[in-house]
Structure 1
């Protein structure tokens, strides 16, 4: 049964300063919303723990930047353009900060008023910290608070922002652009508040609606292994380097600049760089720096860069809630699914040759070995064992969706399995898929022209848009 928003009203808000970055005009805004939105989703018991732990009256500050393009290539007066909210990947990552008037933000801002919303707990939106979370009480109390940081709550936040921004507008709906986890949020939006959407762009974010967390990671580890083999075919010398590094870490107690030990399995985490065409070659430059010439020790530069790659300092929300994004409703338990799959595979042992570098999977030993996460170890266990999550999607609503959706799916995406993505695409009415054999998870930022033209053409052909986003070098 579909449950939708009962007409959310504008929320308290303030308008901050405005700035210019080239041809981009950027206005800062802050909105105050409830921690636990008092409207029904398809949860069985959405507010039970909130009532028990006194969370119902808490509020969250949401920060957003509204970006418009004022250059000659922009279309129509800024105040006449529809709003588009960007749903960031993650979970637990802030919205991008515009650094120049080019790239996908600039292009979208030629035809939309782009809302770069920091999702709750990230950036300037009541940021979640390990220290602040611990101060809330025991692990059960912390988990009850964290339950309000999933896609359903993010959609409710977005609805409050939309109602506020469009309060004096003739068009009350807006468009969405969801990247990675932002695509998961889009599917929640289409499930519970489709009446608020003009159309949706989705990039590398077709959530696995029909797969358990364990099945998701079985596919993920397969894709990561394929990417490892591809990387080692480009850089055969790095296969030997990676094995040599792991062997050294098994023999010796080597510390990172922060003073914590670098274990072989933590070193494998640098494989997150394999997940995109814009950063994969950076992995080679990291590995080639591991040993100073003629030196059997790991270099200071390598240890410094590796620490930056593998710490969760400043981003505990990602580590705590990552597997929870795959738990759609009561009876679904993550149970450290990634760790279960990895443990069952010989090719991912830290002594294997070739050494399989890993991606964004979360393991329980993170919370023992990373000082930034140690205070949250018990909370992570509570979340991994939790099996009474609320629902994130309404499959019946998605099967009758009327909102035009254009979604990209990349055959070799390391983080969103292609087969699961197509199964999801076939379950959502009015959704058309644009695929690629060569693009990867970071294509929106790295291959902007291809992605926006591919998806934009679909939306234009459906009549959802009339003009493709353009930049100064491309007239669309």
Structure 2
């Protein structure tokens, strides 16, 4: 599907949140249309005009938001006041700022799906529906699948060896902590080298067949540092969530009335384990009767 074409945004702006951050946002499509917010992946991703391709511009008012410390939000790569609860609060703050009574749709992929689910559970009366791609719920098993020795590492052993070989042997048992130490160090060259290897692993398991041309993005130092640092920052702090928090029955109950559509690829190597869990426990187990899968 080619998707929809949008003209330039009809509105751009910044929004001060907390004591440090200024969020950047853009609005596309129909100013009087159904309000949709696109929640980008990461943590550490950013938005671009290409994200509007999913939405008919005559029907939807599309809001793109760069999360704290990412994209055009300022200050770049700021870790202070940058936690999962902060990002969920930002979605609600932006809704109020834009005078949107209720989100018609939260659209999120990967980390964006995490934020969509958390927002819906925190503000179930402020959203009508969710459309989620590549669901990620932050459980230890999911993080271990993508950055541990018993998950994607068994499917891409050569890439896993490259990822680990950057670290001293004695630190390879906890690669997330080891990379985070280097990504937050004082030596710029070490930070950049760590960022490239962190992101190289991500890119290596993003699909069954690796597109080598994608590795050219690693030469974008600004992006590479921001993406790796934010991902590691959230992962090393366990995303500031309790284990299994999103999928607890009492939290799913809060959003049972919402329409939720989940798109999960069978061969999604990055998020394979959660896709199976969502299907087996949530869809088959009927914890969320409003779900489409």
Please tell me whether residue 108 in structure 1 is matched to residue 55 in structure 2: yes
CA contact (8 A) 1:66 1:116 kept: yes
Please tell me whether residue 432 in structure 1 is matched to residue 287 in structure 2: no
Q: Over the residues paired in the alignment, what is the CA RMSD in angstroms?
A: 4.0
* Residues 61/429 of structure 1: CA separation in 2 closer, same or farther (3 Å cut): farther
- The aligned residue for residue 127 of structure 1 is 75
- The aligned residue for residue 82 of structure 1 is 34
5 Å matches for 1:168-187? Answer: 172-187=102-117
Shift, 1:326, TM fit: 4.8
- The aligned residue for residue 237 of structure 2 is 324
* Residues 124/393 of structure 1: CA separation in 2 closer, same or farther (3 Å cut): farther
Shift, 1:313, TM fit: 2.6
1:92-144: CA deviation from partner (whole Å, max 9, x where unpaired): 222x222xxxx551331433111000112222322343xx66xxxxxxxxxxx
- The aligned residue for residue 182 of structure 2 is none
- The aligned residue for residue 261 of structure 2 is 406
Shift, 1:317, TM fit: 2.4
* Residues 305/123 of structure 1: CA separation in 2 closer, same or farther (3 Å cut): closer
Please tell me whether residue 60 in structure 1 is matched to residue 8 in structure 2: no
- The aligned residue for residue 251 of structure 2 is 397
5 Å matches for 1:284-363? Answer: 313-315=225-227, 316-329=229-242
- The aligned residue for residue 375 of structure 1 is none
Q: 1:219 aligns with which of 135, 145, 148?
A: 145
- The whole-number CA distance in structure 2 between the counterparts of 1:92 and 1:82 is 27
CA contact (8 A) 2:208 2:269 kept: no
* Residues 282/166 of structure 1: CA separation in 2 closer, same or farther (3 Å cut): same
- The whole-number CA distance in structure 2 between the counterparts of 1:278 and 1:165 is 41
Shift, 1:216, TM fit: 2.8
Q: What residue ranges of structure 1 are gaps of 5+ in the alignment?
A: 1-21, 36-57, 69-77, 134-144, 233-237, 251-257, 287-303, 333-390, 434-476
- The whole-number CA distance in structure 2 between the counterparts of 1:275 and 1:124 is 27
CA contact (8 A) 1:128 1:317 kept: no
* Residues 121/263 of structure 1: CA separation in 2 closer, same or farther (3 Å cut): closer
- The whole-number CA distance in structure 1 between the counterparts of 2:86 and 2:191 is 37
* Residues 275/59 of structure 1: CA separation in 2 closer, same or farther (3 Å cut): same
Please tell me whether residue 421 in structure 1 is matched to residue 278 in structure 2: yes
Structure 2 residue matching 1:199: 3-state secondary structure? strand
CA contact (8 A) 2:36 2:103 kept: no
- The aligned residue for residue 97 of structure 1 is 48
Structure 2 residue matching 1:117: 3-state secondary structure? strand
1:348-389: CA deviation from partner (whole Å, max 9, x where unpaired): xxxxxxxxxxxxxxxxxxxxxxxxxxxxxxxxxxxxxxxxxx
Shift, 1:262, TM fit: 11
- The whole-number CA distance in structure 1 between the counterparts of 2:267 and 2:151 is 7
* Residues 278/105 of structure 1: CA separation in 2 closer, same or farther (3 Å cut): farther
Please tell me whether residue 191 in structure 1 is matched to residue 121 in structure 2: yes
- The whole-number CA distance in structure 1 between the counterparts of 2:60 and 2:192 is 46
Which structure shows the bigger proportion of residues in strand conformation?
A: 2
* Residues 90/23 of structure 1: CA separation in 2 closer, same or farther (3 Å cut): closer
- The whole-number CA distance in structure 2 between the counterparts of 1:267 and 1:197 is 38
CA contact (8 A) 1:206 1:424 kept: no
Shift, 1:187, TM fit: 1.2
CA contact (8 A) 1:30 1:61 kept: yes
Number of aligned residue pairs: 255
Shift, 1:59, TM fit: 5.2
Structure 1 residue matching 2:278: 3-state secondary structure? helix
Please tell me whether residue 274 in structure 1 is matched to residue 204 in structure 2: yes
* Residues 122/279 of structure 1: CA separation in 2 closer, same or farther (3 Å cut): farther
5 Å matches for 1:22-61? Answer: 23-26=6-9, 27-33=11-17, 35=18, 58=19, 60-61=21-22
Structure number with greater Rg is 1
